[in-house]
Amino acid sequence: MSGRAASIADPVRVADAPGVGLPARILDTPHRRYNPLLDEWVLVSADRTSRPWQGSRDALVRDERPPFDPECYLCPGNDRAGGAVNPEYEKTFVFTNDFAALHPDSTTERASDGMLVAEGERGTCRVLCYSRRHDLSLGALALDELRGVVDVWAEQTTELGVAYQWVQVFENRGAAMGASNPHPHGQIWAGSALPRDAVREDAGQREHRARTGSSLLLDYARKELGGPRVVAENEDWLVIVPFWAAWPFETIVIPRHRASRIADLARPARDRLAATLADLIGRYDNLFDVEFPYSMGWHQAPFSGRSVDHWQLHGHFFPPLLRSATIRKFMVGYELLAETQRDITPEAAADRLRSVSISRTEGSATPAR
């Protein structure tokens, strides 16, 4: 990795950022911002970034992984933890999780005892290995390999959508985010019910469509174009630190044209999505000169049988790092008991991500762009 390590000692004043469109008397002091996708508020307290820190610091580990690890249960040809043997796969490999959180033969029966209500959840959990190489990551894949991952996301979503209402494509990257294996992989869970955040995003987008006749996220993308929260853009994609971002360097990835699911994307849009993800993950990795931990995932229209004209495909990246590679944001105390609070403005976060090198991470099979 070749980008400079950043600190958060010099936050950008929101009043100095062009295109914000809201009064500095609010945005340059502690204030709340509204998230129309989830119908919730976020408290922004940018003056807290200089406070003394004697709390937890994560150990900085430079993880030098070999291309193949004979002990890795995701590498090709190796035994998995559940006893199965992986094929000698060359590119992507999808299998049902040996320790799945959901099962296809579960009941969907609902039972109640007064205010106590429970219902069965039917579903499946799959693992998607991005590459046979143990030493790579999603952002370090060659662009044609990353494009292949996009195609698998689309194929798996379409296949699982036949049987399940919600399909969640996601990745937990790094031990800090609970990843149990460093081999480059993500997951695809599908379930019969619509999860909490899916319900809230569905309602937010449906309400906006009913009120305005247009898409909430497409309207939002048009409002952000050329503004201080944009990290990267091309003719098909926009990467933004959302106005309502909860995590320090959170981003949302939005297609600039109508698409409800990944399968709706035409070939050029899929090509540019691969390039967009490589760009974004490269910026993340070079921000603090470390393989940036994150949880990321795609929110696609549910397979509910109802109209999904209000739904716009989008991806969320939720990274926990705050000040450096060893200091993270903790969602505790006030955040758990009241509402989310952040210590760096979205405008300052976007400025840092824009400023950082976009050279590809070590192990990349393609040259820096």
Residues whose CB is less than 8 angstroms from the CB of residue 138 and which lie 6 or more positions away in sequence, other chains included: 130, 146, 149, 171, 173, 184, 186, 277, 281
Say if CB 277 and CB 157 are below 8 A apart.
no
Instruction: Mean pLDDT check: name the lowest of 87-101, 250-264, 345-359.
Output: 345-359
CB hemisphere CA count around 342 (13 angstroms):
29
pLDDT per residue as tens digits for the range 128-171: 999 999 999 999 999 999 999 999 999 999 999 999 999 999 99
One of 183, 185, 208, 299 is an active-site residue; which one? 185
Nearest to 71 by CA among 172, 182, 178: 182
Given a cut of 50, whether residue 246 has pLDDT beyond it is yes
Given a cut of 60, whether residue 190 has pLDDT beyond it is yes
pTM above 0.85, yes or no: yes
Token readout for 298 is 């795609």
Say if CB 19 and CB 228 are below 8 A apart.
yes
Nearest to 222 by CA among 141, 70, 104, 214: 214
Say if CB 282 and CB 360 are below 8 A apart.
yes
pLDDT per residue as tens digits for the range 72-118: 999 999 999 889 999 999 999 999 999 999 999 999 999 999 999 99
As a whole number of angstroms, the distance between CA 129 and CA 82 comes to: 16
Q: What is the 3-state secondary structure (H, E, C) of 242-258?
A: CCCCCCCCCEEEEECCC
Is 299 a residue of the active site?
A: no
